[in-house]
Structure 1
Amino acid sequence: MGTLSTFNFLTLNGFYKDAADSVNWHRHGGEESGFASDQMEGRKSILVFGRVTYEQMAAWWPSAAALEAMPEVAKGMNESPKIVFSTTLESAEWENTTLIKGDLIGEIKRLKADPDVQMTVLGSGSLVAQLAEAGLIDRYGVMIDPVALGDGKPLFSGMKTKLDLRLVDSRVFGSGVVLLEYVPINA
């Protein structure tokens, strides 16, 4: 069976985006940038997005500014196969992107049936909540910033069931950002 992971930045008070759908509050320092570059190196994961996150990523990673600021990450993001789930997008122009308008849960189950498929949901809190509730996520990665926001979007907003996780790895960056990796307790 294939695998599905998630990766999100979080504030101390649990927001993955601020009230304006931005992650500009995340500390993208040298050490965190190095980690992101290492993660892209040799990675063959399909990147999975919802519409809002996809539009933000597609506007940034192919840009000259992204290629200059984080060349290895930009290269990896642009070359990786990508899936965007949306009922409102008419097309997905970012290279190597497939637009899926159908059933999120059914499509992810179909993709996970292939033992060689590795997928990572980046951002996309609504997708994360739906996939978590369906029990389809194998690994959760969160980078917690030492930042609290007055308002924002909680990562697991809309979930109706309890999600029990077990910590399997952690790392503290010099900036105070903490990386935590979890798997479902029943895994």
Structure 2
Amino acid sequence: MRKLVAFEHMTVDGYAASAEGLGFEFTWRAYSEELSAYGDEHIRADVDTALYGRATYLGMRDYWSAVPDDPAASQHEQVHAEWVNGVEKIVFSTTLESAGWTNARVIGSDVEAQVRALKAGPGGTMQIYASPKLVHSFVGLGLIDEFRIVLHPGTLGAGTPLFPDKSALDLDLVESKAFASGAVYLRYRVA
């Protein structure tokens, strides 16, 4: 059975998105080359399908599809763009009619049944990127097997929390790693 993972950046006070700008500006202070390389080589090493909510998907699609033609893009951005443009992508949306990105498709109905079918099928890990509201839905449906969290050294005081109200999960720590920038990677399996 395939594993479904939520990969999130989170503040110390539990928020995965702010209510301002792109929503993840809080990550910039502690996002380092060390963390970036660890993410590429380790956190997403087993991932063959990227999952997104509509808002996150549109931002990722518009940004990453343009990187290969951007001469100012860094080496890391070019490597990540090659991966994300080539990997299978699923966007969960009731309003998008088409995905408009290579290797991408839309799931807009029967979400639980379709995700359970994907989990029962062949393939590697399916990983939700950002999309905290999608994570909330999947937590409520009992679909998430693991959380991969980068904890950032700061607080927001408001925003979208990683875990929805009244979610009660027992989690087993599988792995952790601290970075010189102050960020900490935490990998939890749902018990």
Q: Please, what TM-score do these two structures have when normalized by structure 1?
A: 0.89
Please state how far the C-alpha of 1:67 moved relative to its aligned partner: 7.8
Please state how far the C-alpha of 1:45 moved relative to its aligned partner: 1.5
Partner SS, residue 25 of structure 1: helix
CA distance 1:73–1:40, shift in 2 (3 Å): farther
**What are the within-5 Å matches in structure 2 for residues 38-187 of structure 1?**
38-39=41-42, 43-64=46-67, 68-69=73-74, 70-157=77-164, 159-185=165-191
Aligned pairs, how many? 184
Verify the 8 A CA contact 1:133 1:163 in the aligned structure 2. Answer: no
In 1: Cα distance, 2:136 partner to 2:104 partner:
22
RMSD between superposed Cα atoms in Å: 2.0
In 2: Cα distance, 1:71 partner to 1:145 partner:
24
Partner SS, residue 26 of structure 2: coil
Note the residue ranges of structure 2 that are not aligned, 5 or more in a row. Answer: none
Deviation track 1:104-136 (CA, whole Å, cap 9, x = no partner) reads 211111111114342111111122122122222
Note the residue ranges of structure 1 that are not aligned, 5 or more in a row. Answer: none
Deviation track 1:22-73 (CA, whole Å, cap 9, x = no partner) reads 2122032111111232148764521011101101111221223598232211
* Alignment partner, residue 26 of structure 2: 25
Please state how far the C-alpha of 1:9 moved relative to its aligned partner: 0.2
In 2: Cα distance, 1:28 partner to 1:66 partner:
22
Query: What's the % identity of the aligned pairs?
Result: 34
